[in-house]
Structure 1
Amino acid sequence: MNQNTTEFDQLQSFVTSNLVDHQNLQLNFALLADEQNEVNQLSDGLAGCINLVDLKLFLRSSFIEKQNLTKIFSALIKCQSLTTLNVNLDGNLICDEGASALGLILSKCSNLTSLILELYRNQIKIKGANSLYSGISKCSKLVNLEIYLAFQQAEQILTEESHDQINQNTKDSLDFDLTQITNLTQLAIDFRYLKIGDEGLYQLGLILSQCKNMECLKMYIDQNGFSEECLPSFFIALSKCVKLTHLTLYMTLESCCQQSAFKVGQTISEQLNTQFLELWFQGDGNLQNLISGLSSSNSLLSLYLWLDEQSVLEDKYIQNIADALLKYKNLKNIKLLFYQEEKYEQQIKKLFVKLRKLKRLINFDIEIV
C-alpha cells in the first residue's frame, strides 16, 4: 500500500472523515446485501471525494445487486481527478447485467490511466465480458488495464466438455474493440473457464492485434475448450503487437500432441519479439516439445516456467528438458518452479547440474512449492 494511502475498514469511519482531503484511498468493506442505507452512505461518501486520485475499493462477497452497483460506481464519475482505480468484487454474483452496468459507468471515467478489476466468482459469461470491455474501451487514456473474470473455480466445474461440445454450444463470441485505447502498454486478461472455444480464441487474437503499443501482456486462457490447431494462428495475430516484449501465458496443453506442442513454441519464437516469457504449463510429456519449439528465438532473454505435472520430473523428461534448454542462444535468466513433492529433489538437482553448462546464464533458479 502507498505510504500516503488512507485506509478504512469501517464504513462509518469513512463517511465521517474529511472526504475532500482524500487523494489516495483504500476501502475494505463487506456491505449487507439488503442494507440500502449502507449503499447510500458509501455512494455519497465517494461522491464527496472530489480530489481523489487513487482508489482501491474492495467489496468482496457483498452480493451487490445491479441497482446498488450502479449507485455506488456512478459516484466515481464526479471524481474528475481519479486516474487509478483498483476494484475487487470477488464473489458478488453481479452476472452479465452487473458487468454491463459496470462497463457503462466506467466508460464515463474518462481520466483513468490505470484500471484493475478483480471480478472472480461473479458468473460473468461472454455476453457480460463483451459489454464490460466495450464500456472500458472508451477510457482512451488507459495505460494499464487488468481484468480478471475467471467464470468459476476449477473445483466448481461439474462436467467436462470436449472441444467439439464447447464449440457447438457456444452461442456468443468475443466482440469488443480496444483501438481507442491507443496508449495501452500493459494488459492482463483472465478468461478462464469462459469456454470461448476456437472462434473465441480467433476473435481474441484479432482484438489483441489492435493494441499496437502493448509492451506487456498477461493472459489466463486455460480451460476454454479451444483446439490445439488454433494456437499458432492466435500467436501470428499477436505478432502485430510489434512492441510486445513481456508475455505471461497460463494455458493447458494436456491434450496437445507432441507435434502441436512444438508448433506452439516455434510460432511464439518466430512470430513474437518477446524478451521475457512466463508460461504456466499443465500437460504431461509435451513440455520438452514446447521448450524445443521456443529454442529458435533470438530475442528471448528470460524464461520462467511454472510446472504442474509430476511426469515432467521423470528422468527421461529431465534429460529432454535440459537438452532443449541448452539450445537457447541468448537466454540469460531461467526460473523453474515446480508444484511437487520433495521426493523429486534428486531429479531437479540433475536438471540444475545439466543447465550449469549454459555459461551465458546470469540467473538460474529452481523452486519447489
Structure 2
Amino acid sequence: MIQQIKYYEELEEFKSSSLLSHQILHIDLSNNQIGNEGASSLGSALANCINISNLTLNLDYNKIGDEGASGLGIGLANCINLSNLTLNLDYTLIGDKGASGLGFGLANCINLQNLTLNLIWNLIRDKGASGLGSALANCINLSNLTLLLNGNQIGDEGVSGFGSALANCINLSNLTLNLSKNKIGYEGASGLGPALANCINLSNLTLNLSENKIGDKGASGLGFCLAKCINLSNLKLYLTSNKINNEGASGFGSALANCINLSNLTLELVQNKIGVMGAQGLGSALANCINLSNLTLNLNYNKIGDEGASGLGTGLANCINLQNLTLNLHGNQIGAKGASILGSALANCINLSNLTLTLFNNKIGDKGASCLSFALANCINLSNLTLDLYENQIGVMGAQGLGTGLQNCINLSNLTLILDENQIGVMGAQGLSSSLANCINLSNLKLNLYNSKIGDEGASCLGSALANCINLSNLKLNLDYNKIGDEGASGLGSAIANCNNLSNLKLNLCSINTSQKFELLSKCRKSKRLVVFYFE
C-alpha cells in the first residue's frame, strides 16, 4: 500500500490535524515570520507524531533562535521511528544552545538512515558543533548524511568534536559535509580526517572546507586519512582559499594516489599557493588514478607555471579512461611549453566525450594554441567542447592551428570557443572558419572573438563557414570591437539566413551603424525557424 504524503504550509492547520496518523510529512514554513514560540509549538505538535517515518521540515529564513530550535529538538526526540529526515534551518539565528538542543532530539532518532540538516549562516560555534556531533554518534544506522554548516563560526575544537562523532557512523556510504566559511585551521582538518578514515564503507564523499585556514598540515592530514577510504568511488573536495602551499598539495597528492578505485573526482584548490611542486605532486597522484572516468580540477590562480602544467599533463596522460574532463587553470602564468605538454597529455585521452579547458589570462601564444590543437585532433569522440583562451597572446598561427585540430572533431554537437582579446586577425578567422565548416553536426555554438582584429573579411569568412553548419539550432556570436563594416555585416547576415534550423540567435556586433544593423536584422530574420533573436 502506497502511503500518502501530507503537505502543510500553515502552522495552525498542521497543529489541528490528526497528528497520530502522519507517516510521511512535508511541512513548508519558509520565510513565514515564525519566531521561537511558533517553532516551539511546532515541536510540541511533532512530539505527537510518533508514527512518522519520513519528515521534511522547511523553516529557513525565520527567527526561531536557540529557544525555537531547542523546542524542535524536544519534539523530534519523540519521533523514534524516523528513517528519513530533512531539516532546512538556514538563516534562523540558531546559536550553540539551539544546535545542542537539536542534537538532543536527533540523539533519540536511532533508526535514521537518511539525514539532511541545513544550518547555513547561523551563529553556531564550537560548543554547538560538538553538541550536534554527540547526537550523530547515536545515529549508527545512517547510510546517507548531508550536513550543511557553512557560514557559521566553528573552529578547530568544534570540528574535531564533530569528527569524533562521525567516526561512529561506520555504515555511511554517502556523506556531504559543507564547513566552508568557518574558522577552521589545520588542527580541525586533521581532527576531521581520522573520522573519515573510520567510515570504511564510504563510496561517495563531498567535503567543502573552502575559505578556512587549514594550511599545508591540514591538507596533508586530510589526504593521509582519505587514502584509507579505499572504497571511495566518488570524491568532491573543495579547498579554495585555505593557505595551502606546495607542501600541502604534494602531501595531499601522495595520499590521493592510494585512492585507486576513484571513478569520479572533483578537486578545487582555487586561490592557494600550490606553485610548481604542488601541481607536480598532484600530477603524480593522478597518474595512479587510472580508473577515473570523470575529473574536474580547479587550480585557478596558483602560480603553477609551465613546469606545474607539465607535471599535471604527465599525470593526465595516464588517465586513458577519462570520458569527462574539466580543467580550470586560468591566471597561472602558463606559457607555450606548459600548454604543449598539456596538449600531449590530452592526446592520450582518446575516450573523451566532454572537455572543458579554461586557460584564460595565461600566455600560451601561437605555439601553445597549436599544440593544443594537436591534442584535439586525437579526441575524435568529443561531442562537447569548451575552450577558453581569452587573453593569451594568440595570433594568426595559433588560430589557424586551433582550426586544424577542430576540423577533426567531426562528432562535435556543442562547441564554446572563447578567443577574446587575442590578435587572430583576418587569416586567423579564416583558419577557424575552415574548421567550423567541417563540424557539420554542431547544434550549439558559442564563439567569442571580442577585440580580435578580424575585420570585414574575417566576418565574411565566418559567415560562409556557418552556412555549412546546417544543423545549428543555437548560436551565440560575439564580434564586438572588430572594425566590421558593411561588407562583413552583409556577408554574416546572408550566411545566418542559410542556417535553416537556427531557432536561437544572440549576436554582439556593436561596431556597425544603424542602417547596417537594419540590413543585418532583415537578413537574419530570413532564417526559417528563428524564434529568439537577441542583437546588441
Q: Normalization by structure 2: what TM-score?
A: 0.53
Q: Deviations over 1:243-294 (max 9, x none)?
A: 4432222321552323322322322332685432223442266484574154
Residues 1:73 and 2:111 aligned together: no
2:318 to 269, 292, 297: 297
Alignment of 1:207-286 (within 5 A): 207-238=225-256, 243-270=261-288, 273-283=291-301, 286=304
Aligned to 1:116: 116
Aligned to 2:17: 17
Matched residue SS, 1:282: coil
Matched residue SS, 1:45: helix
Aligned to 1:162: none
- Residues 237 and 56 of structure 1: is their aligned pair in 2 closer, same or farther, counting only changes over 3 Å? farther
2:202 to 184, 197, 215: 184
Aligned to 1:87: 87
Aligned to 1:175: 191
Task: Output the CA distance in 2 between the equivalents of 1:100 and 1:237.
Answer: 35
Aligned to 1:29: 30
- Residues 40 and 226 of structure 1: is their aligned pair in 2 closer, same or farther, counting only changes over 3 Å? same
Aligned to 1:334: 354
Task: Output the CA distance in 2 between the equivalents of 1:69 and 1:280.
Answer: 38
Aligned to 1:50: 50
Contact 1:253 1:261 in 2 (8 A): no
Matched residue SS, 1:187: strand
Q: Deviations over 1:156-175 (max 9, x none)?
A: xxxxxxxxxx99x8775653
Task: Output the CA distance in 2 between the equivalents of 1:315 and 1:62.
Answer: 52
Matched residue SS, 2:219: helix
Q: Which amino acid aligns with 2:17?
A: S
Q: Which amino acid aligns with 1:112?
A: L
Task: Output the CA distance in 2 between the equivalents of 1:314 and 1:239.
Answer: 25
Task: Output the CA distance in 1 between the equivalents of 2:372 and 2:25.
Answer: 45
- Residues 62 and 170 of structure 1: is their aligned pair in 2 closer, same or farther, counting only changes over 3 Å? farther
Q: Deviations over 1:290-326 (max 9, x none)?
A: 74154143465234426484x4799959954861552
Contact 1:258 1:289 in 2 (8 A): no
| Larger Cα-atom Rg | 2
Contact 2:266 2:296 in 1 (8 A): yes
Task: Output the CA distance in 2 between the equivalents of 1:302 and 1:63.
Answer: 47
Q: Which amino acid aligns with 2:60?
A: R
Q: Deviations over 1:132-176 (max 9, x none)?
A: 4454344322222233333379xxxxxxxxxxxx99x87756535
Contact 2:238 2:267 in 1 (8 A): yes
Matched residue SS, 2:150: coil
Matched residue SS, 1:30: coil
- Residues 93 and 251 of structure 1: is their aligned pair in 2 closer, same or farther, counting only changes over 3 Å? farther
Give unmatched runs, 5+ long, in structure 2: 154-182, 361-368, 387-415, 419-445, 447-536
Aligned to 2:424: none
Task: Output the CA distance in 2 between the equivalents of 1:201 and 1:316.
Answer: 31
- Residues 129 and 53 of structure 1: is their aligned pair in 2 closer, same or farther, counting only changes over 3 Å? same
Larger CA deviation: 192-201 vs 330-339: 330-339
Contact 2:125 2:152 in 1 (8 A): no
- Residues 140 and 23 of structure 1: is their aligned pair in 2 closer, same or farther, counting only changes over 3 Å? same
Task: Output the CA distance in 2 between the equivalents of 1:16 and 1:304.
Answer: 53
Contact 2:243 2:272 in 1 (8 A): no
Report how far residue 364 of structure 1 moved.
2.8
Q: Normalization by structure 1: what TM-score?
A: 0.72
Report how far residue 72 of structure 1 moved.
0.8
Give the number of the structure with larger relative contact order, counting CA–CA contacts within 8 Å between residues 6 or more apart: 1
Task: Output the CA distance in 2 between the equivalents of 1:11 and 1:114.
Answer: 25
Matched residue SS, 1:25: strand
Q: How many correspondences in the alignment?
A: 345
Larger CA deviation: 77-86 vs 119-128: 119-128
Aligned to 1:323: 343
Larger CA deviation: 252-261 vs 285-294: 285-294
Larger CA deviation: 103-112 vs 350-359: 350-359
Task: Output the CA distance in 2 between the equivalents of 1:24 and 1:236.
Answer: 47
Q: Which amino acid aligns with 2:250?
A: P
Aligned to 1:145: 145
Contact 2:42 2:72 in 1 (8 A): yes
1:194 to 200, 207, 212: 212
Aligned to 1:157: none
Contact 1:125 1:151 in 2 (8 A): no
Task: Output the CA distance in 1 between the equivalents of 2:286 and 2:345.
Answer: 16
Contact 1:142 1:184 in 2 (8 A): no
Matched residue SS, 2:269: strand
Report how far residue 43 of structure 1 moved.
0.7
Matched residue SS, 1:92: coil
Report how far residue 115 of structure 1 moved.
2.4
Task: Output the CA distance in 2 between the equivalents of 1:4 and 1:314.
Answer: 58
Task: Output the CA distance in 2 between the equivalents of 1:339 and 1:70.
Answer: 50
Contact 1:103 1:135 in 2 (8 A): yes
Aligned to 1:364: 384
Q: Deviations over 1:314-363 (max 9, x none)?
A: 995995486155244464343427699xxxxxxxx999965542346354
Contact 1:249 1:280 in 2 (8 A): yes
Aligned to 2:41: 41
Report how far residue 73 of structure 1 moved.
3.0
Report how far residue 69 of structure 1 moved.
1.5
Identity of aligned pairs, percent?
25
